[in-house]
Structure 1
Amino acid sequence: MADWGPVIVATVLFVVLTPGLLCTLPGRGRVAEFGSMHTSGLAILVHAVLYFALITIFLIAIGIHVYAG
């Protein structure tokens, strides 16, 4: 039985936290911009830290497991 939990969580978080796709933290003119499709080095760093924190919480602290088959 394969554990698909980490794969699903990582894929969803990657799509949601891609800078510029849904939101950009920090934005160019504001703290947060939504759907701007623009990014910066600082926004990439902030999104990477958020990704690491959320994936650590979901996979290690909560322990999400999805078994298929």
Structure 2
Amino acid sequence: MPADWGPVIVAVILFILLSPGLLFQLPARTRVIEFGNMYTSGIAILVHSIVFFVILTILVIAIGVHVHAG
């Protein structure tokens, strides 16, 4: 039976893109959003975690992204 790598690939890509401070930080220190500041805070980690979970759930469960290997 082939392995389904879709959820793993989607999770890794989202984890990299949604790391607080890498591409953007929501909420930022002085504004609502800042881009590429490489800083983070506890509330930003919480917000990015919720956004990660929502997007991952939509892509994996609702849309059904599948990558079969093997």
Q: CA deviation at 1:40?
A: 0.5
Instruction: Name the % identity.
Output: 64
Structure 2 residue aligned with 1:45: 46
Q: CA deviation at 1:26?
A: 0.4
Structure 1 residue aligned with 2:31: 30
Structure 1 residue aligned with 2:62: 61
Alignment gaps of 5+ in structure 2: none
Partner SS state of residue 65, structure 2? coil
Q: CA deviation at 1:68?
A: 1.6
Q: CA deviation at 1:36?
A: 0.3
TM-score for both structures, normalised by structure 2 = 0.95
RMSD of aligned C-alpha atoms?
0.6
* 1:2-61 Cα distance to aligned partner (Å, 9 max, x none): 111011000000000000111000011111111100001110000000001001000110
Give, as a single letter, the amino acid of the residue that structure 1 aligns with 2:14. Answer: L
Partner SS state of residue 62, structure 2? helix
Runs of 4 or more, structure 1, over 3 Å off, are none
TM-score for both structures, normalised by structure 1 = 0.96
Structure 2 residue aligned with 1:18: 19
Give, as a single letter, the amino acid of the residue that structure 1 aligns with 2:24. Answer: C
